[in-house]
Amino acid sequence: MDDLRHQHMYENKSQEYQVPESLMRDVEQRISTLQERKSAKKSRQDILQEVQHEHWETRAMALYSLRKLRADEIPVELILRALQDEHVMVRAIAVQMLGCLGKRLPVDALRLALQDHDWEVRERGVFVLSDGNIEENVARPFLAIAQQDAHPAVSEAARETLALLDARHATQQINERDIQLNRAANRFSFQAYGRKIDQSWELFCRQFLVLRKYGLAALVTLLTGYIVVLGITLGPLRGNVYYSSLALGVVTTLSAAIATGFTTDLRQDQGREIMLSTPTSLRMVMFCRFLIVIVSHLLLSGVLSAAIAPLYGQGLWSIVQIWLGPMFLVSSLSFAVAMLLGSWFSLVLTFLFEIIQTLHVGPEGQIAVQHSQLWQTNPVILLVAVICFALVILYMPSCVRNK
């Protein structure tokens, strides 16, 4: 019985609130017209004409279509006229279009919008103030007035916009402070990096004064060896480029190894206690000394190789490759032995190592002077030299503490 009673009640209600067919046709026609106008592509001239249409829906939609234009193409006069429209929605959309004007936004028009008698228009004016197109010092007085608005939607929107401006201002201050701190940190980093370069260069130059005794002995040894090389080159064996290159390789390798062993052995360093008691990096000191030895031998032997090569019609690399790789390897080994056992052990082991690589005893007991193909510049020798040097640099502090 209850179900029948409810069904009868619903039927009576549906008959009571039935929409007239004429009104339905009018509503459907308006919706269809608005959909067609919304989807149709309109030119600027069409939009300007529809802004003055008799139906408020058409005027509102035409105003809303202005957002598709660039800010400099939107006619300000048209929006100002729309702010005086009789319909509240047209005025509200006109206020919204004020925000699309960017820097061209007229402040006086926005002031009038905030004084409109309809709260929807005033609320849109508050939203425009939050877009960031108006200077903050100009927007805040308007928002302070809107915060006292009688309608809660307008006052709440004004309070939220003020909070947004405060947060944006705080974020901007934080960003500016971060930028200043980053600039100061970068300047400090560059200055610190520059000071480190200056200190490293000064340390490098001071090593020449510290090593002048060893450097003079090494230079005399090297020049004596060069005289022997020139004697071989210009003497009875001058027709054989191999012997000249081999002699240059032996002299360069032994001289570099001896110089490395004596200049990197802290037992022979008279300023060891002073050096260890200062904040100077021991690794940097040893690296500078090793670099001085290698670069000096590289330059001097390179010049002599450049002088020998034309005498035999050879290229420079054909002579340099005989001594470049072995010099790096034997110097790195000498560096390691000098740090572990001392410079004299380094000297003895270097001589033995070079003799083994240079002198070969034949089946019948004859002695041949030659270097194998492996004992020339190749990636393996260079890699082993780099690994040996890196291990010495890493092990150096503990090695010094144990001495």
For residue 283, the model assigns a pLDDT of: 80
Spatial separation of the C-alpha atoms in residues 219 and 223, rounded to whole Å:
6
Q: Is the pLDDT score of 376 beyond 60?
A: yes
* 83-118 pLDDT, tens digit each: 888 888 888 888 888 777 777 777 788 788 888 888
Domain boundaries, the chain: 25-156, 193-401
* 306-363 pLDDT, tens digit each: 888 887 778 888 888 888 888 888 888 888 888 878 778 887 888 787 777 776 665 6
Dihedral (Cα; 325, 387, 394, 272), 10-degree rounding? -20
For residue 268, the model assigns a pLDDT of: 61
Please state the rounded mean pLDDT for residues 121-137.
78
In 3D, which of 271, 331, 335, 332 has the Cα closest to residue 297?
A: 331
Biggest alpha carbon distance in the chain?
137
Q: Is the pLDDT score of 402 beyond 60?
A: no
Spatial separation of the C-alpha atoms in residues 378 and 218, rounded to whole Å:
26
Q: Which of 192-196, 220-224, 275-279, 344-348 has the lowest mean pLDDT?
A: 275-279
In 3D, which of 102, 50, 93 has the Cα closest to residue 73?
A: 102
For residue 143, the model assigns a pLDDT of: 83
For residue 368, the model assigns a pLDDT of: 60
For residue 4, the model assigns a pLDDT of: 44
> 25-156 has which fold?
Leucine-rich Repeat Variant (1.25.10)
Question: When comparing pLDDT for 217 and 92, which is higher?
Answer: 92
Q: Per the confidence metrics, is the pTM higher than 0.85?
A: no
The pLDDT confidence band at residue 6, using thresholds 50, 70 and 90, is: very low
For residue 21, the model assigns a pLDDT of: 63
* 350-374 pLDDT, tens digit each: 878 777 777 666 566 556 666 666 6
Percentage of the residues of the chain whose pLDDT score is greater than 70: 73
C-alpha distance from residue 168 to each of 98, 108, 162 (Å): 22, 25, 10
Please state the rounded mean pLDDT for residues 270-291.
70
